[in-house]
């Protein structure tokens, strides 16, 4: 496609403004590691919340959401549970407060509060650092595939480059350039630059989403949409099977449904709920989400920061998702049908944008979508190197170096993480494949050990090490050994192997020192199986009160998941003009908001 000069000017202006803000703010990050990676724990919670939402508003995930809305219609609202999207709900209800009470910089450093300083603690520290770097590299590779495919669809220049030994495609060159540009201000300014540029990016993205939703409402009538979708496409709820037949419209869509493994939709949703509960209680993987929590001023602000993410993220994002999807359904279906078995649903978003957005607005929208990528990429780049510098170099190699040396090493670590992530990105075949590996295999390897660390006093550093190691190895080996098993169905296998490693590693070794356990339990105050530790704590502090909020927290999580679901449904129903269903979702939103005000917000501890 050919971009108008005005569109190119808008994109260029946005990129320059981002760079200026990033470099201007960067001087605040030079004081020490706490300033570089956590913003000195001085950034207001609502600013961190907007930043966190911006980091989750990634272009690669948005392309995936558009493709599943195209295929599954309103039932696609359930499929983001595969991440699971409601880990933010568990964070806002209790986990964010538990994490923030540790008052540390990274997830690896947090383990010191749980397991102490012994050999088992050191092993747990090392394995979570490896996992953190492992996962950040995976997310960078995930972003590399998405931004390259997106940019090639819109930007008019062919950047294919022959390097002699191999040829770099135009798609990969665009990804390299955009990642390189973003790395400049992220590496220079650390958390301050990331957060402040993400506020700009979030505003641009939100405006772009609203514009797309309005355009779709004006260009697609309910009658047009009804004519190009199968029976059941508008239904949110489902029977045992999906019962959605595209044979008379786009037959290849049936092949995608079969390949996705979603035909038995009830089983899929049950598996997502099972996985989602365990993964959510395990807590966030050691990436930018955890970093934002640790950067808040207090535990109460950590909870509020996690709560605002869902509130500001989903409505505008799903206006975009629904808008782009119905534009493609009505106007792009014939071309998709002509692709036959080679249909590429990840091109739905680029097609809809390139054909229905006028000059000027196109530049703003592309700036917004590039911003969506940049914010996610920036957040990951800022999170990963903290583990290399703080948890490897500072702890084991040079604990007495100057703050300036730590910050300079952070620059090098950031570039190294980006370089490795990009290298893996060259080998990714599709967005869908890397998405499913991250959310099923990788999360499956993380869940067991990180769930047990909260709820079982007997769980120790050795158990954490062997559980994480078993999980990480399984996440790489199981997909190769069982290629015909879907990513979601492989989750219980990987979880089980990791759980065996966790329990066996704990029971075959000595428990952690009671002094360490008492300190952790009295400071973090989790619920769970902590009775022996509780008995020791009250001997020294008879006024200590155990956490008895398990039932309330679980009730709030159920209400919170419903509340979050309404934030997804309302914009989707609005864009497809099902106003009665939108009104019903709005009523449920008001009711659940009132309940959470009484049972969650008013109960937050200062």
Compute CA distances 432 → 329, 367, 596, whole Å.
20, 24, 35
Highest mean pLDDT among 168-182, 194-208, 228-242: 228-242
Token pair of 38 as six digits: 């956590």
Task: Please give the pLDDT value at position 264.
Answer: 81
Distance CA 62, CA 375 (A): 13
Q: What is the mean pLDDT of the chain?
A: 82
Highest mean pLDDT among 48-52, 187-191, 211-215, 371-375: 211-215
Distance CA 396, CA 409 (A): 15
Token pair of 493 as six digits: 């296998």
Q: CATH classification of 1-87+96-239+248-273+293-428, choosing from 3.40.50.300, 3.30.200.20, 3.40.190.10, 1.20.1730.10?
A: 1.20.1730.10
Average pLDDT over residues 63-80: 88
Token pair of 81 as six digits: 């549970």
- Phi first, then psi: give them for residue 167, nearest 5 degrees: -105, 130
Which of 139, 184, 593 minimizes the C-alpha distance to 373? 139
pLDDT(374) > 70: no
Domain chopping of the chain, boundaries: 1-87+96-239+248-273+293-428
Distance CA 397, CA 214 (A): 56
Exposed/middle/buried for residue 254 (C-beta within 10 Å: 0-12, 13-18, 19+): middle
Torsion on CA atoms 347, 351, 354, 355, rounded to nearest 10? 180
Average pLDDT over residues 570-586: 96
The H-or-E segment that residue 422 falls in is helix 403-425
Residue-wise pLDDT for 410-432, tens only, equals 778 777 777 777 776 676 655 55
pTM of the full predicted structure?
0.82
Distance CA 212, CA 189 (A): 32
Percent of the chain whose pLDDT exceeds 70: 82
Q: CA-based angle 87:90:96, to the nearest 5?
A: 100
Residue-wise pLDDT for 205-259, tens only, equals 888 888 889 989 999 999 999 999 999 999 999 888 888 888 888 888 888 888 7
């Amino acid at each position: 496609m050919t971009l108008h000069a005005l569109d190119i000017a808008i994109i260029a202006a946005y990129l320059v403004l981002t760079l200026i803000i990033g470099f201007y703010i960067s001087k605040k990050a030079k004081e020490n590691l706490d300033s570089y990676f956590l913003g000195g724990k001085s950034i207001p919670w609502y600013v961190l919340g907007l930043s966190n939402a911006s980091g989750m508003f990634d272009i690669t995930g948005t392309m995936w959401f558009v493709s599943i809305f195209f295929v599954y219609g309103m039932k696609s609202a359930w499929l983001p549970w595969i991440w699971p999207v409601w880990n933010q709900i568990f964070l806002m209800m209790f986990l964010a407060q538990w994490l923030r009470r540790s008052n540390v910089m990274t997830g690896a450093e947090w383990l010191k509060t749980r397991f102490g300083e012994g050999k088992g603690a050191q092993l747990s520290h090392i394995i979570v650092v490896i996992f953190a770097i492992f996962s950040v590299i995976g997310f960078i590779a995930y972003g590399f595939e998405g931004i390259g495919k997106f940019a090639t669809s819109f930007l008019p220049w062919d950047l294919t480059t022959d390097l002699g030994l191999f040829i770099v495609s135009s798609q990969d060159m665009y990804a390299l350039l955009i990642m390189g540009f973003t790395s400049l201000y992220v590496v220079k300014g650390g958390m301050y630059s990331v957060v402040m540029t993400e506020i700009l990016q979030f505003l641009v993205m939100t405006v772009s989403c609203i514009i797309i939703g309005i355009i779709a409402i004006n260009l697609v009538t309910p009658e047009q949409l009804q004519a190009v979708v199968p029976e059941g496409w508008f239904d949110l709820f489902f029977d045992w099977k999906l019962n959605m037949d595209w044979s008379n419209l786009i037959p290849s869509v049936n092949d995608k449904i079969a390949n996705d493994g979603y035909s038995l939709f009830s089983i899929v949703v049950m598996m997502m709920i099972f996985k989602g509960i365990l993964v959510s209680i395990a807590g966030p993987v050691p990436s930018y989400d955890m970093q934002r929590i640790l950067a808040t001023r207090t535990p109460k602000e950590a909870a509020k920061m996690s709560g605002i993410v869902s509130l500001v993220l989903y409505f505008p994002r799903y206006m975009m998702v629904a808008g782009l999807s119905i534009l493609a359904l009505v106007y792009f279906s014939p071309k998709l049908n002509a692709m036959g078995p080679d249909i590429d649903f990840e091109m739905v978003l680029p097609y809809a944008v390139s054909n229905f957005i006028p000059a000027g607005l196109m530049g703003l929208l592309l700036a917004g979508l590039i911003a969506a990528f940049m914010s996610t990429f920036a957040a990951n780049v800022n999170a990963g190197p903290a583990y290399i510098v703080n948890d490897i170099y500072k702890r084991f190699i040079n604990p007495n170096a100057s703050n300036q040396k730590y910050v300079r090493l952070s620059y090098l670590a950031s570039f190294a993480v980006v370089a490795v992530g990009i290298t893996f990105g060259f080998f990714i075949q599709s967005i869908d494949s890397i998405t499913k590996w991250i959310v099923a295999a990788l999360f499956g390897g993380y869940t067991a050990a990180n769930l047990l660390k909260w709820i079982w006093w007997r769980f120790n550093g050795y158990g954490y090490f062997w559980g994480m190691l078993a999980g990480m190895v399984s996440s790489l080996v199981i997909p190769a050994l069982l290629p015909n098993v879907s990513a979601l169905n492989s989750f219980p296998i990987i979880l089980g192997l990791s759980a065996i490693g966790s329990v066996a590693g704990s029971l075959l070794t000595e428990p952690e020192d009671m002094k360490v356990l008492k300190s952790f339990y009295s400071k973090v105050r989790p619920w769970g199986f902590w009775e022996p530790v509780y008995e020791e704590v009250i001997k020294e502090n008879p006024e200590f009160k155990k956490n008895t909020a398990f039932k309330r927290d679980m009730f709030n999580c159920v209400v919170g998941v419903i509340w979050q679901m309404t934030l997804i449904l309302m914009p989707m129903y609005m864009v497809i003009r099902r106003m009665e269903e939108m009104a019903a979702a709005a009523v449920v939103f008001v009711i659940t908001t009132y309940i959470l005000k009484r049972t969650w917000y008013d109960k937050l501890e200062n």
